[in-house]
Amino acid sequence: MEKIRALSELELKDRLLKGLESEGLLGRRVLAIIPDSTRTAPIPLAFRTLAEAFRKQGGRLDFLLALGTHPPMTEAEIEAHLKLPASERKRLFPDTEVFNHHWKDPQVLAEIGRIEAGEMASLTGGLYTEAVPVQINRRVFDYDRLLIIGPVFPHEVIGFSGGNKYLFPGISGAEIINAFHWLGALITNPKIIGTADTPVKTVVNRATAFLDRPVSLFAFVMSGHDAVGLFTGGVDDAWRAAVELSRRVNIVYKPRPFRTIFSHMPAMYHDIWLAGKGMYKVEPVAADGGEVIIYAPHIKTVSHTHGEVLERIGYHTRDYFLAQAEKFADVPGGIRAHSTHVKGIGRYVDGIEKPRVTVTLATSIPESVCRRINLNYRDPASLNPEDFKNREEEGILYVARAGEVLYRLEDGSVPDIDRL
């Protein structure tokens, strides 16, 4: 098996340029779809390399941030994301624009198809039986080709991120975003995360089939901050190659579950909507009755986008929502899905919710808010991360820079609602 190592900047540039050539993108009008700052990848290098190639060899290259429902990035945030001041960017690449995706603005969206209820039922094995309109940012129709650039990680909703996920839900409308996330929640995070072929992936690919623009993919595989792989070509082939390497790099196997897991969240997650990944990526190795601590003193809010709704409904298991479907019918599926993913799997029996694990926020969100939203609280000042390190034999797991690496059990088993 080939040794995994970090690729040099020169190697990455060479692969990026060869990808442009092999995909026939130079000289064309190309819209590159890239992640925001909540994903780790050498986006600054990709931006400079590709923009310079187009500046020299012709064509048009613009960039669209695949935000999904994340807040639009400010100019200062884009500067930091690309590691390039706006003034310098405009001087070096005057014909290259960077756009935010505004998922709630109907003027931005175009409907390109509709997955009818019967087809949704067929695609999802009967789990989701409502029709879904397929909307996408209409900016894609101003270009000859689309180029997706981003990393591939284990993902709680689709199985593995990257690829067509940058279209749906990355630059899509609310309906398919909500359907996509709620479907994943119905399957549950432990069963879906780190799996390549899932019903959610099938729905995303079906939505993509409505798009009449050729799409290429430049897929990074990251190990921490280092790029260890870059696969270019058609979306499916490049994505699957990236998945195989990401599976080796970004899944850690443990022999036994842990009663306490300390997820130390990096600064790139600025609310619980994002830092919930500190639960998603470790839920498969949390012991029944255990505790997952999301440690992020820098976080002060539940969600910059959906905080009002989340503070009203709180965090609950999937079965809590299923048992009270009418009560929560007005809550978008994407918000319900986030709620269940953070809370984890569990039962709701005779009006009593029985989550499998306790999820604790050690953040700057007040204790009163944590209790109100049905999560446990610990004062971050009372916790020393050092106290949780190197104690796996005691049943305590410390996860540094939590959120991108998935933890699973060596025997392949996953937590199961049916045994609770």
Answer yes or no: are the C-beta atoms of 200 and 157 closer than 8 Å. yes
Which pTM does this prediction carry? 0.94
The predicted structure's pLDDT at residue 151: 98
Domains in the chain: boundaries = 9-249, 251-419
In this prediction, the residues of the chain whose per-residue pLDDT falls under 50 are: none
Say how many residues make up the chain: 420
> Is the distance from CB of 287 to CB of 395 less than 8 angstroms?
yes
Rounded Cα distance between 189 and 276, Å, is 12
Q: How far is CA 179 from its chain centroid? A: 15
Checking phi first, is residue 163 left (phi over 0); if not, alpha (psi -120 to 50) or beta? Answer: left
Query: Alpha helices of 127-196 — where are they, by DSSP H?
Result: 174-187, 189-192
Burial class (CB in 10 A: 0-12, 13-18, 19+), 395: middle
146 and 138 Cβ atoms separated by less than 8 Å: no
Architecture (CATH level 2) of domain 9-249: 3-Layer(aba) Sandwich (3.40)
**pLDDT value of position 416:** 78
Please state, in angstroms and rounded to a whole number, the distance separating the CA atoms of residues 231 and 160.
15
Residue 293 — left, alpha, or beta (φ > 0 → left; ψ -120 to 50 → alpha)? beta
Distant-in-sequence, close-in-space partners of 15: CB < 8 Å, separation ≥ 6 = 7, 230, 232
The pair of three-digit structure tokens given for residue 68, joined into one six-digit string: 């999904």
- Given this chain, do its domains 9-249 and 251-419 carry the same CATH topology? no
E strands, 210-257, are 215-223, 226-234, 251-254
pLDDT score recorded for residue 419: 66
Contact (Cβ atoms closer than 8 angstroms) between residue 157 and residue 336: no
The candidate with the shortest Cα–Cα distance to 343, out of 377, 318, 309, 365, is 318
Residue 8: partners with Cβ closer than 8 Å, 6 or more residues away: none
| Residue-by-residue DSSP string for 24-92 | T-TTSEEEEEE--TTS-S-HHHHHHHHHHHHHHH-SEEEEEE--TTSPPPPHHHHHHHHTS-HHHHHHH
Tokens of 301: 């809010």
Q: Domain 251-419 class?
A: alpha beta
Is residue 417 helix, strand or coil? helix
What radius of gyration, in Å, describes the C-alpha atoms of the chain? 21
